Amino acid sequence: MKLTPTSTIWMDGEFVPWDEAQVHVLTPSLHYGWGVYEGIRAYETAEGPAVFRLREHLQRLHDSARVYLMDPGWSVNELTEASLELLRRTDLTSGYLRPIVYLGYGTMGVAPQLDSAKVAIAAWPWGSYLGEKAEQDGCRLVISSWQRNGVHSVPPLAKATGAYVNSALAKVAAIRSGYDDALMLTPTGHVAEASAANIFALRDGVMTTPPVSDNILPGITRDTVITLARDLGYEVREQSLTRSELYVADEAFLTGTAAEIVPVTSVDDRPVAAAGCGPVTKQLREAFQDVVHGRNTDYRRWLSHV
Ligand code: PPE
């Protein structure tokens, strides 16, 4: 996916022109992947642009930084204000926000100097993450031969930059084999998640999504969907899933900030019962769009207006 530049990027309190927002090639975060980040979406609403669950994303950024022993040096409130000001300055009416906490230039070696954390926030327009076709007609998933990062190696609940070599290995392999995305398993064979999205399966009206203990990033969209689905009267279980339970699901879908809610049409070439976008997936997609665009006032608390 190509980046569309905007006018400016926030870097530690300064608004820097897009092309000048650079770091030194010897920054340790580039060499060792010691950094944490977020992905956040802003949507158009009748009252102007609004960021979806901004506070929760920035809180998770702080939590990820804690796992990696970094102090961002900017509070959640300060980063909230910086994010909103960035959207004002870039004139975006909708788009994607990318805050990142990384280590500054100065030391080398795998025990990096941790008191030099830097923070940047960029924003740009971003369309559908898995492509228009997958978004509308559903995506084809394959179980990856790459295991999902685990609690004993790279903690999955922190959104660390370096952790994404795991996702990238799986996704690149899946695409090269002709699929849209990879699903990764835990060492015991439970379904964890896709390369950058959580998964839900529906059978006999009950929705199941893997628990946090199955090496997932606890997605904010996952939490949104659990809340919306329960409010709509569905039973939702956070419970381990095996690959064959996905093979026999009535419906399945992925959730993520970039991906939003994407129907799954097959897993390992086994078609999901509801071809295309199933009725429950469709209902949740519509409910989600109503919420993020401010059309459902019950969830106003999730919107931060620019
Ligand atoms: N799991 C992983 C591994 C993941 O990267 C994401 C988001 C999720 C689950 C869903 O989390 P949430 O966005 O809070 O619902 N992936 C982000 C980054 C994608 C990318 O860097 O590319 C995203 O969707 O913004």
Site of tokens 């339970």 = 245
pLDDT per residue as tens digits for the range 105-146: 999 999 999 998 999 999 999 988 988 888 888 999 999 999
Give yes or no: residues 136 and 281 share one domain: yes
The 10s digit of each residue's pLDDT in 158-190 is 999 999 999 999 999 999 999 999 999 999 999
Q: What residues have CB less than 8 Å from 244, skipping those under 6 apart?
A: none
Question: How many domains does the chain fold into?
Answer: 2
**Pocket flag, ligand 1, residue 210 (CB < 6 Å):** no
pLDDT tens profile 193-202:
999 999 999 9
pTM beyond 0.85: the answer is yes
**44 and 88 Cβ atoms separated by less than 8 Å:** no
Residue 11 CA to residue 158 CA, distance in Å, equals 22
The 3 state secondary structure assigned to the chain is: CCCCCCCEEEECCEEEEHHHCCCCCCCHHHHHCCEEECCEEEECCCCCCEEECHHHHHHHHHHHHHHCCCCCCCCHHHHHHHHHHHHHHHCCCCEEEEEEEEECCCCCCCCCCHHHEEEEEEEECCCCCCCHHHHHHCEEEEECCCCCCCCCCCCCCCCECCCHHHHHHHHHHHHHCCCCEEEEECCCCEEEEECCCEEEEEECCEEEECCHHHCCCCCHHHHHHHHHHHHCCCEEEECCCEHHHHHCCCEEEEEECCCEEEEEEEECCEECCCCCCCHHHHHHHHHHHHHHCCCCHHHHHHEEEC
- Domain around 263: 132-292
Quick check: is 22 in a domain?
A: yes
Pocket test for ligand 1, best of 161, 175, 217 (most atoms within 8 A of CB): 217
The verdict on whether 282 is a catalytic residue reads no
Using the predicted structure, report yes or no on whether residue 296 has a pLDDT greater than 90: yes
Calpha distance 209→226 (Å, rounded): 9
Same domain assignment for residues 71 and 154:
no
What pairs with residue 252 in β-bridges?
A: 201
Q: Which one of 79, 103, 124 terminates a domain?
A: 124
Examine the domain organization and report whether 21 and 68 are in the same domain. Answer: yes
Domain boundary residue, one of 65, 96, 124 = 124
CB atoms inside a 10 Å sphere around CB 100? 19
Residues 89 and 139 both lie in one domain: no
- Note the pLDDT of residue 136: 87
CA dist., res. 125 & res. 131, Å (int): 15
Is the domain of 94 the same as that of 155? Answer: no
* Within a domain: 187: yes
Residue 62's pLDDT is what? 98
Q: What is the pLDDT of residues 225-271, one digit of tens each?
A: 999 999 999 999 999 999 999 999 999 999 999 999 999 999 999 99
| 30 and 176 within one domain | no
Which of 216, 221, 225, 291 best tests ligand 1's pocket when mutated (most atoms within 8 Å of CB)?
221
273 C-alpha to center of ligand 1: Å?
Answer: 26
Ligand 1 center–CA 37 separation, angstroms: 10
pLDDT-derived band of residue 16, with 50, 70 and 90 as boundaries?
very high
Q: What distance in angstroms lies between residue 38's CA and the mean position of ligand 1's atoms?
A: 8
Domain membership flag for residue 2:
no
For the residues 202-226, what does the mean pLDDT come to?
98
What CATH number corresponds to the domain at position 29?
3.30.470.10
Least confident of 131-145, 188-202, 204-218, 277-291: 131-145
Position 137 in a domain: yes
Given 124, 152, 178, which residue is the final one in a domain?
124
As a whole number of angstroms, the distance between CA 92 and CA 49 comes to: 8
Do residues 138 and 54 share a domain? no
Q: Is 182 exposed, middle or buried (0-12, 13-18, 19+ CB in 10 A)?
A: buried
Q: What is the pLDDT of residue 116?
A: 85
State if residue 99 touches ligand 1 by the CB under 6 angstroms criterion. no
- So what's the pLDDT on residue 131? 87
Q: Which atom of ligand 1 is nearest to the CA of 198?
A: 9
- Same-domain status, 78 and 159: no
Q: Are residues 151 and 118 in the same domain?
A: no
State the closest ligand 1 atom to the C-alpha of 156, by its place in the atom list counted from 1.
3
- The mean pLDDT value of the chain amounts to 97
Q: Which two tokens stand for residue 94?
A: 């909708």
